Structure 1
Amino acid sequence: MKINQKQIEAVLALSSEERYKHFIKVIADWQEVWGLYHDGWALAETDTGEISFPMWPAKEYAAICAENEWGGYVPEAFSLDDLLGELLPNMKNDNVVPCIFYTTLDKGVVTTIEQLSYDLNEELKRY
């Protein structure tokens, strides 16, 4: 699904907590998640020094962040099933935390793997 510029601007104007809720709803609905990829997935460092894996609900949002240290990275999708079944367990083993809806102005919501899994599963129960 393509997102228009007005939608992008409206969502980016939301607080990080509201963008997190939007992320949960959209990926539960569309069944896909977006990251940035170039010879490996883009990672970031949190304010507390943890390594985080940034994720977005749509290609357009990820593409906006493909600049500066992520210049040359391209948006790449993976399924919600892959996120829940493979990526989150691998992140837990590697001590990497989820970073939801990073923007050029806001580092997004850093959450635990358990909280992200819980929130996604609760949203999926509504479908």
Structure 2
Amino acid sequence: MSIILTEKEISSVARLLPLDRYKYFLKRVADTERMYTLVNGDNEYALSEVKGNYVFSLWPFREYALLSIVEEWDNYQVKEITLDEFENEVIEWIEQNNYLINIFSVDSKAGFVVNLREFVRDLSDELKKY
């Protein structure tokens, strides 16, 4: 499913509060069954540190992830993750490393930071609506 985002939508969603961007993320991922992150040339996920915890960042669309390729991530590229890949590969990696999930950061500021259990529960609740 291909969704075309307008500049207006990108701009207005980016200005939402972190919790509202989180809700938007859940709805859009449930719609498309895809999410996006950043990887370097070695296909390693981009991580950042928030209050002493490592966080793995996700965005609902490629366009939002592209906006985050700045500063320490300027040599990264966007990677699409399907729900199946997330469930079968990424969840275990997050769990093994005890990472938190940073949903929808904007302008190098943290998005809504959530633990894996809460994220999986919230996404599962959203997917049940479809």
TM-score (norm 2): 0.92
Matched, 1:73 2:76: yes
For residues 66 and 26 of structure 1, the distance between their equivalents in structure 2, rounded to whole angstroms, comes to 21
The correspondence for 2:7, drawn from 5, 18, 23, is: 5
The CA deviation string for residues 72-121 of structure 1, in whole angstroms up to 9 with x for no partner, is 21111010122123211221111111110011153101101000000011
The correspondence for 1:45, drawn from 39, 43, 49, is: 49
Task: Identify the residue that residue 33 of structure 1 maps to in structure 2.
Answer: 35
The correspondence for 2:21, drawn from 5, 19, 22, is: 19
For residues 18 and 100 of structure 2, the distance between their equivalents in structure 1, rounded to whole angstroms, comes to 16
How high is the sequence identity, in percent, across the aligned residues?
32
Task: Identify the residue that residue 128 of structure 2 maps to in structure 1.
Answer: 125
The correspondence for 1:88, drawn from 88, 91, 94, is: 91
TM-score (norm 1): 0.94
- Unpaired runs of 5+ in structure 1? none
For residues 37 and 89 of structure 1, the distance between their equivalents in structure 2, rounded to whole angstroms, comes to 17
Contact 2:69 2:75 in 1 (8 A): yes
* Offset, 1:65: 0.5
For residues 105 and 70 of structure 1, the distance between their equivalents in structure 2, rounded to whole angstroms, comes to 10
Give the secondary-structure state (helix, strand or coil) at the position aligned to 1:65.
Answer: coil
Task: Identify the residue that residue 61 of structure 2 maps to in structure 1.
Answer: 58
For residues 105 and 44 of structure 1, the distance between their equivalents in structure 2, rounded to whole angstroms, comes to 10
Query: How many positions carry a matched residue from both structures?
Result: 126
* Runs of 4 or more above 6 Å deviation: none
